[in-house]
Structure 1
């Protein structure tokens, strides 16, 4: 029977998955065959230096043996990776064939420049790949104008960290609304004894992703129908709640805090509540990093007046170079690296993947605190797919939006700050549209 291209890809995947258990065929072949349709081809992959990449490296030989593909995996720190990709793509190079990038920060710019290949025609070729298993928010965050531009690799969710011992001692239930969070932070705030009700990011650029879930949960967003919307009543309410928590119940140095400083203060036992990305949890639960490791607990982000709307994003994703001359081989690599088996194996090392089935399995959550795993699963099912303004000039937009919270914390009129920021954000949107 003649094999279709999709069945060959499926067979390649099945062979790869079976190598560990069965030993596999370790003999290299230089010519393509039914079992090794891509033999003799070489792929170049640019990837971020990250535990996900480390996990992939450990089984890369299995993929190469199963497919006959030689994978040149080049690993770079974040800034260097971005520079390398820009140089390659600006010069219209055919390599890398596959690369990792941050869709929440870069997808619009890359799409505008034609640097990412749409993947819609690939993901349905092999039923065993089960693309529908990826969480909706992570997939939505990988789309541009209705087209799938990347495959989510590892994810991030906005959750609430809290001191369970402090809440129990003061008979305070875990907050389920933002009003309850503010009341609890007020009750527990004790600056005279260097203890604070709340801590989170306060630096202008860094705070935007933290304030985002407050804005969404009050019914707002950064941009609505293509227009800047940070001056709406809903958005202002979200910014104001966040600013008040930091101003009234946070440490004096909040304006200088990014996530490392905020997480460290919480880990030192100096705050009752901390809200941030779930991926940072080890900084607060590792006894070597945290003085209160045994007392840290997790819960889904509390609901605002518009409901419970924390972000749940694809932190990094895998994309294909449109100029690659080996797109089928490139997809074989992408399919394998994001398969259920690989996502489970890498998630078992503590890297949060994007597949619902892995989060539903006992093996998939064994490296995460049980309450954190529950909070992550809840957030993945309800989350908003972005944590920053969806524009090409993300860094500039974050500075503009972050100024609203900074000015409010400094005692300035938040409505005036929001009006100014909205005009500046709209100017960025309009400028981006002309690029």
Structure 2
């Protein structure tokens, strides 16, 4: 059976490479890119851990050598900025965060637009990619990169605590607040709710509250973080953290918040689907067998969470190896390789993989059902669309933190921060 699967995989890879124009009747024609060398600048990420052992098969089939340079997230951004600013030919291919860096990179001319690559390559099956993931990878109506990792908002909860108190899984934000209040018991080491409280990191997670209350960060190029819907959302999120969160929650980004939940110290946690392994790995979690996963609770406008590309693959416009670079991107995001990386727990963007039993086998069934249930729904961004996205996030996060600290007039603060966000947008 295993031999049959390997044979099928080889046939699929051969067909894929044939679609790239890499197969013919003799060695030279079969490997027209023989001898090419690519520099791939990557993030230190579980997806990279999954793809690295597969690289020798790509190199053997194509004759292309791939040099991987791996960096931590912020180091990667710095390194890319240095190289691309100088119009360096390397890296040829790189990982990037479309919603954090896409507009800036595109404005600076650092992204090769890939629209023609995906549309001319009919065997690639571009329509198989999640529409939301594709939309979040677009910049100025051009395709800036290919989705690699997707994520959506989700509710993490303690099955045991809810069962003991006879509390159903919250389906609305009001139910979440009520349940968090009931389960909040700091004297016994359990807080009702935890999530990101740091000013900039919290923005991506408050977005689901914002959309579910009928708001958004902007309407076109008009800032809208002072609308009634936005204020309701910020007060909901900030109020949960203020009333039922741990004392130092204002200093928590996702690593601290999810670690707190994994230690068994909170009843509820809202964050991205892609980081679930921290709470399901017994080596890192005290509650690995007690975690439940549910769709994001509905607000006054229903359950509306983000569904985005958190990491993508992009091509350097200055690369002298664009044909080889596309062959690599095509391979790394093919159905076969997406299935292989998703089998390691990475949340890919191909719908056919999510719709196959093999594509969900590595995930808790409840989690897979949540992701599959979002289907084509979801908002294609989780932060303000701005070139200077860091400052834009700070403007939003300031409002939520003021809620967390009991600021008396949130409408006034929201008006002030809305003016700041509008100024950022106007300058761009």
Q: Secondary structure at the match of 2:358?
A: coil
The match for 1:314 is 309
How far, CA to CA, are the matches of 2:174 and 2:237 in structure 1?
Answer: 11
In the TM superposition, residue 115 of structure 1 has moved relative to its aligned partner by 0.5
Deviations 1:332-387 (A, max 9, x none): 11111100000000111111111111111111111111111111222353221111
The match for 1:117 is 112
The match for 2:423 is 427
Q: Secondary structure at the match of 2:305?
A: coil
Q: Secondary structure at the match of 1:176?
A: coil
How far, CA to CA, are the matches of 1:268 and 1:326 in structure 2?
Answer: 48
Aligned counterpart in structure 1 of residue 289 of structure 2, from 289, 294, 301: 294
Name the count of aligned residue pairs: 412
Are residues 380 and 81 of structure 1, via their aligned partners in 2, closer, same or farther at CA, if it must alter by over 3 Å? farther
- On the 8 A contact 2:12/2:336 being kept in 1, the answer is no
Q: Secondary structure at the match of 2:381?
A: coil
Deviations 1:303-359 (A, max 9, x none): 111111111111110011111222222111111110000000011111111111111
Are residues 355 and 56 of structure 1, via their aligned partners in 2, closer, same or farther at CA, if it must alter by over 3 Å? same
2:370 aligned with 1:368:
no
2:43 aligned with 1:48:
yes
How far, CA to CA, are the matches of 1:283 and 1:339 in structure 2?
Answer: 27
- On the 8 A contact 1:36/1:68 being kept in 2, the answer is yes
Q: How does 1:9-24 map to 2 (within 5 A)?
A: 14-15=13-14
Aligned counterpart in structure 2 of residue 417 of structure 1, from 413, 417, 420: 413
Aligned counterpart in structure 2 of residue 405 of structure 1, from 400, 403, 407: 400
The match for 1:350 is 345
Structure 1, unpaired ranges of 5+: 1-10, 20-24
Q: Secondary structure at the match of 2:38?
A: strand
RMSD, matched Cα: 2.1
Q: How does 1:248-327 map to 2 (within 5 A)?
A: 248-327=243-322
The match for 1:236 is 231
Q: With the length of structure 2 as denominator, give the TM-score of the two structures.
A: 0.92
How far, CA to CA, are the matches of 2:331 and 2:55 in structure 1?
Answer: 10
How far, CA to CA, are the matches of 1:362 and 1:98 in structure 2?
Answer: 31
The match for 1:95 is 90
Structure 2, unpaired ranges of 5+: 1-9
Q: Secondary structure at the match of 1:290?
A: coil
In the TM superposition, residue 244 of structure 1 has moved relative to its aligned partner by 1.2
Deviations 1:50-100 (A, max 9, x none): 221222221212222222222222222222221221111111122211111
Q: With the length of structure 1 as denominator, give the TM-score of the two structures.
A: 0.90
In the TM superposition, residue 162 of structure 1 has moved relative to its aligned partner by 0.5
In the TM superposition, residue 16 of structure 1 has moved relative to its aligned partner by 7.4
